[in-house]
Chains A and B, each alone.
Chain A
Amino acid sequence: MKPLLLAVTLLLHLATHGLAKTRPLPDVPPSALTVAQVLDIARRELGSNGDTVILVGVDWCKTSQFQPRYTTGGEFFELRQNPDEYCWFVTYLDKKADPALPADRQKFREMTVIRIKNDGTAHRLGYIRT
């Protein structure tokens, strides 16, 4: 009886491992830019706003795949254009000054996403409140 039970256990173990849902990764093209170059470009694009922001995300992915992890309830409508293009997306939270609050109590109120294409061109994604 024991060998039979052992054999069944072994077969079950092999079957479950064989059945594990493994998905191959997509063929992600390598970026022409290093992450250091991407960060430099993003900072240049931010300009003088650099001291009121914190960086919270850097992603190399298809445009259709990108969604910022934080939200203010709106939509970056430009993500619908060229959905298959791989780009860098650099996400910042932004302490746009709230005149009702003192300087040390300013909070993050906006999100800025900069899309950097493989050729180094960069621009801030347009945002609409939905």
Chain B
Amino acid sequence: MIKLQNIEKSYRHGLSQTFVLRRVSAEIKSGDFVSIMGPSGAGKSTLLHILGMHDSAWTGEYWLYEDPIHQLSAKDRMRLQKQHIGFVFQSYHLLDNLTVYENIDLPLSYRDVKKAEREGMVADILDRFNIVGKKDLFPNQLSGGQQQLVAIARAVVAKPTLILADEPTGNLHSDQGKEIMELFRRLNEGGTTIVQVTHSKENASYSKRVINLKDGWIVDEI
């Protein structure tokens, strides 16, 4: 599904150059559940954003299915991103002005899904995540765990084949974190590929594979 070949990212500061990622090569198969771990500043989030196509200033080769992302225009990358990827953030990043329903509806509206179809898809997700009763609430009326639940619902509503999660339980207490990880496991069992960045070994235990990064290098893969 994903093939990375010598991915590098760096920043220039005058004459010097700081590398964030060095010659990162990896392969992720469909149905995989991968955790990216490592100390702060290791380049975990950067790698995740490259996978999510939020970052385009890097070198190397990135293949998603048969598509060479490194060769595509911004427009084509956006198209593929919409088609395949859902994103979950550590800080949930729900939009404060939108209700639960509207937050979940948002990715569908950006994919030009017809209104009637969207209504059906959002209703289905609300039901699956058991948050129908909360659909008209605003994010600030929800607990942290409920907000992350909504964020995951928003990430999966467009039926992505790949979910990228950046420390999805970082802001939650352990019970809530466990609940979210169980949810990821169920999604993975349903066939969705999941890549998460985490500091937590407990969370990493849910994954099938762990990639360890340090100073931008992959130091090992378990």
**A and B found bound together:** no
The interface of chain A, by Cβ under 8 A from chain B, is none
The interface of chain B, by Cβ under 8 A from chain A, is none
